[in-house]
Amino acid sequence: MHQISEIKFRQIIVMVFSKKSFLYSIVALIAFLPSVLLANSPEPASGHEEAVTKENQDPKAEIKKQINEVKNHHVLDSHSFNFFADEETGKHYGFPLPIILWDNGLHIFSSSKFHEGKSVAEDGGNYYVLHHERIYKTDAAGTLTEHDGHPTNAKPLDFSITKGVFSMLIIALLMFLLFRGLGKSYSKNGGVAAGAGRFFEPIVLFVRDEIAIPNIGERHYKKYMSHLLTVFFFIWFLNVIGMLPFGINVTGNISVTFGLAVLTFIITTFTAKKDYWLHIFWMPGVPVPMKIILAPIELMGAIIKPFSLMIRLYANMFAGHIVIMSLIGMMFIFKSWIGSPLAFGLSFVISLIEILVTLLQAYIFTMLTALYFGAAVEEHHHDDAHH
C-alpha cells in the first residue's frame, strides 16, 4: 500500500512541479498585486485628531500613541523594509525598496529618497512626498493641500515593490526552488523524496487525498492540483512569515486575498461544465416561474462564493495580528506585577493558537477552492435526479 502511495505521489510531483503550470500559478498570484497592495494603508488623521494629540501630553497617552504606531507598522504595508528603529536617534534599520510610478512617464527610484517620509523625492523634474504610505505629487517644498485632513494632491499610479510584494516574491522563489528540487529528487532517487521533500511529501499527499479527490473527484482532480498546491503552500508560508516580528502581514491585506479570490473565480468560471451553468440559469426539475426567480440569485451566489474566501482569510489573519500586538502593548500600559505578566501570558497563548491558524487558514482556503472546482465539473444525471 505504501509503495502504491509512493508511485502515485511520484506521478503527482512530476505532473505538478515539473510543468510550467506551477510557475504560471505563482506568477499569476503576484503579477497584478503591486498596484493595489496598499489597501491597508492608514488614512491620515484629521486636524481635530492631531490637535487633541498635541493637547494630550500625559505619559499614558504617549505610550498608547507609540503602541498604535507599532501596531500600524506590523499590520500595514510600507514602501521600505524596516526591522526596527532607534527612538533616541530616530534611525531606522532595514533596507529601501524600489519606487515605480507612472506619472506622464515611468519613474523609478529608491524609497530611501523619502527618508522615511521626512524628505521630498525628486525624479525627472517631478517632486513626490510619502504621506501615510501614500505617494503624492507636490512642489519642490513638498506642500500638501488638505481638505478635511486628507491631501488633495494628485497621486501617480503606484506600482512600487512594497514590503508585501517583496515578501511574496521571496516566498514564490522559495516555493519554486523547493518543489523543483523535490520533483528532481524523485526522478533521481527512484521515487524516494530527499532532504526537505521528506517533510513536504505527506503534506502534498494530504492535499491530494483529503482535499482534491474528495471534493473534485478522481476523474478531474489532476488538472487542478497545480493550483491547489500552489495556493495552499503560498498562503501557509506567507502566514508563517507573518508571525515574525518584522511586520510582514501579507495575508492580512485585503488586496492580496482579493487577488487569490479572483483567481479562484476565473478558474471556476472557465473550467465549468455546461451542467454547472444549466443549474445556475435554468435549474432542472424546477417550475419555470421559480427558474426565473432563482437564476439571478444563483448567479449572484456563484460570484459571491469565491469572495467569501477573501473576507475569511483577511479578517482572521488581520484580527489575529491586532489582538497579539494589543496584548503586548498592554504590558507597557499596566506596568504592574499582575497586569503585565497576565498580558504576556495571554499574548503567548494567542501566539501559539495563531501558529495553528496559519496552517488552518491555508487548509480552509484550499478546501473551499476545491469545493468550488468540484461543483464546476460535477456531472449530473437529469433523467432520474428528481424522481
pLDDT (average), residues 128-157: 87
pLDDT given for residue 55 in this prediction: 46
| Sign of torsion over alpha carbons 369, 372, 373, 378 | positive
Q: Give 145 or 247, the one with higher predicted confidence.
A: 145
Do residues 253 and 246 lie in contact, with contact meaning Cβ atoms separated by under 8 Å? Answer: no
Q: Could you give the CA distance from residue 202 to residue 191 in angstroms, rounded to a whole number?
A: 14
Confidence label for 45 from pLDDT (cuts 50, 70 and 90): very low
User: pLDDT band at residue 171, thresholds of 50, 70 and 90?
Assistant: very high
- Give pLDDT, residue 229: 94
Angle at 170 between CA 166 and CA 174, to 5 degrees: 170
d(CA 60, CA 70): 15
Is pLDDT above 50 for 33?
no
Highest mean pLDDT: which of 10-19, 62-71, 319-328? 319-328
Structure confidence by residue, pLDDT tens digits, 177-207? 988 888 888 778 777 777 777 888 889 999 9
Question: Is the pLDDT at 61 greater than 70, yes or no?
Answer: yes
Looking at 85-99, 112-126, 304-318, 356-370, which range is the least confident one? 85-99
What local confidence, expressed as pLDDT, does residue 210 receive? 94
Highest mean pLDDT among 149-163, 293-307, 355-369: 355-369
Residue 54: the pLDDT is 46
Angstrom distances, CA of residue 110 to CA of 79, 96, 103: 9, 6, 16
Q: What is the mean pLDDT of the chain?
A: 78
Rounded Cα–Cα distance for residues 32 and 104 (Å): 21
Evaluate if residue 34 carries a pLDDT over 50. no
Does the pLDDT of residue 214 top 90, yes or no? yes
Quick one: pLDDT at residue 71?
65
Q: What is the DSSP letter of 162?
A: -
The string of pLDDT tens digits covering residues 236-283 is 999 998 888 776 888 888 889 999 999 999 999 898 888 777 777 777
What is the percentage of the chain residues whose pLDDT exceeds 70? 78
Look at the alpha carbons of 360, 362, 364, 370 in this order and tell me if their dihedral is positive or negative. negative
> Residue 267 has what pLDDT?
92
pTM: 0.78
Residues 6+ apart with CB under 8 A from 110: 96, 97, 98, 99
Q: What is the pLDDT of residue 143?
A: 87
- pLDDT at residue 101, as a whole number: 93
156 pLDDT tier (thresholds 50, 70, 90):
very high
More confident residue, 119 or 287: 119
Residue type, 10: R
Predicted confidence at residue 57, as pLDDT, reads 56
The residues spanned by each domain of the chain are 2-34+165-377, 38-162
| Sequence-ordered alpha helix ranges (H) in 144-273 | 163-188, 197-206, 213-216, 225-241, 254-271
Query: What was the pLDDT predicted at 14?
Result: 43
Q: Could you give the CA distance from residue 118 to residue 316 in angstroms, rounded to a whole number?
A: 34
